[in-house]
Every structure is written in structure tokens, then in C-alpha cells.
A = this chain, B = another copy of it.
Amino acid sequence: MFDAASAYQNLRQRFREVSWLKSSSAILGWDQETYMPSGASDFRADQLSFLDGQAHRLGTAPEIGGWIKACEDHEFPDGSVELTNVKGWRRNYDREVKLPTDFVEELTRATSTGTHLWAEARKKSDFALFQPHLEKLMELQRRKADYWGWQACRYDALLDAYEPGARSAEISALFDEVGPQISALVGPATEKSRQTPEDLLKGHYPVAAQQAFNREVAEAFGFDFGAGRIDATNHPFCTSLGPKDIRLTTRYDEADFLSSLYGVLHECGHGLYEQGLSAEEWLLPAGEAVSLGIHESQSRLWENHVGGSTAFWEHWMPRAVHHFPHLAGLKPEDMAAAARRVSPSFIRVEADEVTYDLHIILRFTLERRIINGELAVKDIPAAWNELFEKLLGLKVPDAARGCLQDIHWSCGLVGYFATYTLGNLNASQLMHRARQDDAGLDAALAAGNYAPLLSWLREKVHRHGQRYLPQDLMRHATGHATQASHHLAHLRSKYL
């Protein structure tokens, strides 16, 4: 038996240790993507696997169960940091210890093989090469869901790992509302964006000038460069290496400065959330982001609602011209229009804001049916292509541009895709509410003053860590659980 105070201190110390190991891993991972020499990859894999194993071992030791129980018996006050942490620890601990060690090892091996086979299959655009292994991977996902336990539907168990408390029936209802309305929007929005010449921004954009401009904007948004930085990688990301060490990355194309700029604004949104979490409780549940769907709302809000507006370009045009003098003849509306181009395409990561959610809805629909046993893996290509044509009006030419394009399933990320669209819906809903709460918000944004918006997000979202479940956080911040209407209104107003 433990008294709750000492059990809590034991837990806090233990998970601080886990956070030191995990954040050390994160530093090694960041370095691997940014600066590591190519020859170092094998040894780096050994280092990472050891650190991750140590973190797992420390975080799942049997004594932890007793400590959590002692804390639960104590009943810390509602809304307290202690209760938030204890609930989070319980959630994570149960999730970890419910999986038998030999199952975790099998899963690790299967996903490691899976990513290699998938890469090979994608290269050859040959689904048959990947199919037998994908069957095994999906079977393992089903077993994982069963170990974790579920009520209404097996898929919910997987979803819950990325979006705590989410239920696929609810998400499905939202997506059923969103999908057809977005599909209907694609044609007119595409038509409208044809009015902007494709070569409008043609020119040379030196990397150094892009870096300077991106940094100016990120700094204006409120990103603290004393507690973060921006580097270059092949795939943009945001990673947290410590409470005052949030790193963004982007990639540079000297023919297209919008690509690195909007990459930075997106990752900056993630970074502002991370910089707004409690430093004291960092990487403990009270100081950790609540879900992927909320995290993505922050990146999409700064990227699309703030950065994608005409008001943004009205403010930033002079600075853009300062860094890229050949833009001098253009108007802010031109910039906004160029950033707002809509064109249905096959690849999710290249999709525009309007069509993006259709790519997600397709994946959510299929993987839910696979996990729930309503769709066989062998039938994925046909189902994919049929639904793609229905949603986006395009015939998928091959598996590489169809069901083999994403790495997610091969590395065990099933239940993850839905959070991208939840992020878009949440972003629109949060932005709508922020405008209601602060009548001066748009004037401030137009003046390049982002502090009022950031303060609102800090107050309503960032500072809470995992105090609320995601949908409770949305209710608390906006008065409602996630709704479709605000995002549909946003898309219509921005694109039509």
C-alpha cells in the first residue's frame, strides 16, 4: 500500500524519466532527418531502438499499476493537474500492458517488414506484392483492437489511440455530411481558380530569402525562436525535443516560395500548440497535446484560416516584395488566389484544401470496413478506385497513385487518417468561435497583430494539455462538439 502523495510523486518522477528518454529519442530522430551523415543510419537505428525499449520498460513496470491505483483511490479534485495526470497515466498504462510482449514483438517485426514491402510494391505499382503482408498487418490490428477492448465496433479501439473518446459512428455521421457537400464544391472551386494564371508567381526564390521571410511570419504569429527553430528536411514536420525546444522543418523549392511558406505556417501551428503547453508538466498528460485531431486543428488554423486569407497578403505583401523584388507588380489578391488553387489530383499529400478531406473520407471509410470485417484486403484496389471516382470524379490510373500511396497502413497506423479531417473541422469551428468571442479579431489579423488569436487559443486549447477529452475540449472552447457546418461555410466563403 502507498499513500497517494508518495505514489503520485513516484509516478511523476518515473514519467519524467520516461520523458527524458523519449525526448532524447526525439532529438536523435530530428538529427536523423536534418543533419546526420548518411553512413550513420544503421547505428542510429540501434540507438533509437535501445532508447525506445528503455522508455517502454520504465513506463510499463509492474509497480506503476499499484501507484496509479493508490492515486485513483485518493480522488484528486476535478480539473486538477494531478487528476489529469493520473487519468492519462491510467489510459496509457492500460493500453501498454494489455498487449502481450510476444504480440508487440510480432507487430514490430511485421511493420518493419511491412514498410519495406510496401515501398517495393509502391515502386512497382503492384498491389499483389503487398497484399499477403497487408492481410497479416490488418489481422494484427484487429487483434490489437481486441486486446484493448471495444464496445460498439472494433475499429473504435484503434481510433481511440489517436483521438481519445472518438467513436467511428459519430465521425462517420460527420463525414457523411461533409463528403457530398465538398464533392459538390470541387467543380466550381476548380473553375474559379482557373482564373488565376498558373505562371503568375513564376520566378526564382533563393532559399535564403525564403528562410528570412518564413521566419518573419512565424515570429509574427508568435513562434518563440528562443525555444524553437526551423530546419530543412524532405518531409516537413514539427517535433518537441523539450518544453522550450520545439523544432519545425520545411522543404525549399526555389521555383515556388509558397510551398515552404505554407509548410512553415502549418508546422508553426503545431509548434505554437506545443509552446503553449505547460513546461512544468511537459510530456506528462497535463502538459501533453490532447489528440491528433486537436493538434491538426492548430496547424490548419494558422495555415489555412490565417495564412490563406486575403487579409494575410494585404499585410505581408510589402515584406514579400522586400524579399522577392520581382513580385512588385502583384496585388495581395493575386497572392491569395495563387495560394488558393483547387485541382483534384490523385495524391493526398499534394491535395489542396478543398479536395483534401475527400482523400481522408475515402481512407476512413475503407479502413473501418476492413477492420470491421466488411471488406477483404484483396478487394481494396477496386473499392478504392470506385470510391475515389465517386468522391473526386477521377479514374485512378494505377495502385501507386491509388491505394499504395500512403505509408500509414504498412507501419501500423490504422485509425489515424480521420484525425486530419477532424483537424480541419475543428479549425473552422475554433476560428468561428474566436471571431464571436473577439469582435476585433479580424481587424487585428488584418493589421498583422496575431497576439489576440494566439491568446484565445492558449486560453481555450493549449494550456489544458489533456485535462479534457478532445470533444469536451471542443465543447468547452466553442459550446459544441465537432460540427461540419463551420468548415463547409469556411470553404464556401474562401473558394467560391
Contact = CB atoms under 8 A, between A and B. Distances in A.
B47 A226 contact: no
Interface in A198-250: 224-229, 231, 241-245
Main secondary structure of the interface of A (DSSP, over half): helix
Interface string A13-25: 0001100110110
Contact of A39 (B27, B43, B224): B224
Nearest to A32: B27
Given A39-B245, A40-B245, A47 B24 contact: yes
Contacts of A38: 226
A404 B491 CA distance: 67
Interface string A37-53: 11110111011001100
A409 to B, nearest CB: 30
Interface in A140-190: none
A120 interface: no
A244 B54 CA distance: 24
A31 B30 CA distance: 10
Nearest to A35: B229
Contact of A20 (B17, B37, B46): B46
A35 B35 CA distance: 10
B225 A17 contact: no
A110 interface: no
A245 B23 contact: no
A308 B47 CA distance: 39
A28 interface: yes
Interface of A: 16-17, 20-21, 23-24, 27-28, 31, 35-40, 42-44, 46-47, 50-51, 54, 224-229, 231, 241-245, 282
